[in-house]
Amino acid sequence: MTQQKWTAADLPAMTGRTVVVTGASGGLGLVTARELAAAGARVILAVRDEAKGNKSAAAMPGTTEVRSLDLSSLASVRAFAAAWSGPLDILINNAGIMQVPRARTSDGFELQIATNHLGPFTLTTLLMPHITDRVVTVSSEMHKRGHIDPDDLNGQNRPYDAFQTYCDTKLANLLFAFELQRRLTRAASSVRSMAAHPGLSKTSLASHVTGLSGLGQKILVALFAQDAEHGALPMLYAATAELPGGSYAGPDGPGERRGYPTPVQASEDASDERLARRLWDASSRLTGTGQTLTPAR
């Protein structure tokens, strides 16, 4: 008997529930926000470009709201969190950047680690007292190529490689998600920390990449990628399905490039508890958050 494939049609009724989706003005975040709003959730699109966010929200069904959030700026993250009131059922850390030229943020952080890890780390820890159900952190199969040195998150002691740095941040996402679950468990909280990856999906994430790397990615996408509607399914699955905390969802097809969502395995490095603790401590020092966790019970 063939097992039924999970799709957006399997989303539970979300009426009365509040969800924040970062990076929801385009790509996978837009699809995720749209499907949750269609299921009845109140969806907050946390976006860097409010005009683009408002345009995206206007085309969605249900109840939506657009709020400004630039994950590369700790001031912006803190302002977003400080303005939050009331319960937040689900936080989906979807926003990210890929393979950008070397740059520093206003806080002095390397841009990719700031946007993909330190920003979501800060946002999650600051919002934790409000979160009632789960946190979903979006990673990538590229995490398997990642290497993390918690003592040098900003890459000051090595030459900058844009692709390798992206892979490093995706490993950081999983280390964070799994360590968050361990801390929630120790705090006897019912809140769950989940992770997901979209496989290979057609989005604009790497559209700016040029040269041989850009050409190779364009060919790979053209031959093997799935559309954003399917790419968003693992995030929706991780956000709503009855899965244990610490689950990691991805596509069920060959190489986890495409298909329908299912629990998948992370790399050995992503499950390294000592490395995860070191990363948490380093992230806490850099951001000034996360020293203590105060989750909802």
Residue 12: pLDDT above 50?
yes
CATH code linked to domain 14-287: 3.40.50.720
Q: What is the mean pLDDT of the chain?
A: 92
Residue 123: pLDDT above 50?
yes
How are beta strands 261-263 and 248-251 bridged, if at all? Answer: antiparallel
d(C-alpha 21, C-alpha 261), whole Å? 19
Closest CA to 192 of 133, 248, 250: 133
Q: How far apart are the first and last CA of the chain?
A: 40
HSE of 40, CA atoms in CB hemisphere, 13 A: 9
Q: Band of the pLDDT at 262, cuts 50, 70, 90?
A: very high
d(C-alpha 214, C-alpha 222), whole Å? 12
Global confidence as pTM: 0.92
Residue 223: pLDDT above 50?
no
Pair of tokens at residue 185: 């468990």
Strand order of the β-sheet with 88-93 is 63-68, 42-47, 18-22, 88-93, 131-138, 192-196, 248-251, 261-263
Residue 103: pLDDT above 90?
yes
CB atoms inside a 10 Å sphere around CB 122: 25
Q: What is the distance, to the nearest Å, from the Cα of residue 28 to the centroid of all Cα atoms in its chain?
A: 10
With a pLDDT cut of 90, the percent of the chain lying above it is 86
Residue 268: pLDDT above 80?
yes
**Active-site residue identified among 160, 166, 237, 248:** 166
* Domain boundaries, given as residue ranges, for the chain: 14-287
Torsion of Cα atoms, 80 then 82 then 85 then 86, to 10°? 90
Q: Band of the pLDDT at 286, cuts 50, 70, 90?
A: very high
On whether the CB atoms of residues 150 and 280 are closer than 8 A, the answer is: no
Task: Write the CA distances from 136 to 18, 102, 120, 181, integer angstroms.
Answer: 14, 27, 10, 11
Q: For the segment 147-194, what is each residue's pLDDT rounded down to a tens digit?
A: 999 999 999 999 999 999 999 999 999 999 999 999 999 999 999 999
Task: Write the CA distances from 6 to 92, 143, 161, 241, integer angstroms.
Answer: 19, 24, 37, 10
Q: What is the mean pLDDT of residues 268-280?
A: 98
How are beta strands 248-251 and 192-196 bridged, if at all? Answer: parallel
d(C-alpha 19, C-alpha 230), whole Å? 20
Residue 222: pLDDT above 70?
no
> Does residue 160 have an active-site annotation?
no
Residue found under tokens 């992206």: 166
Residue found under tokens 């680690």: 113
On whether the CB atoms of residues 112 and 146 are closer than 8 A, the answer is: no
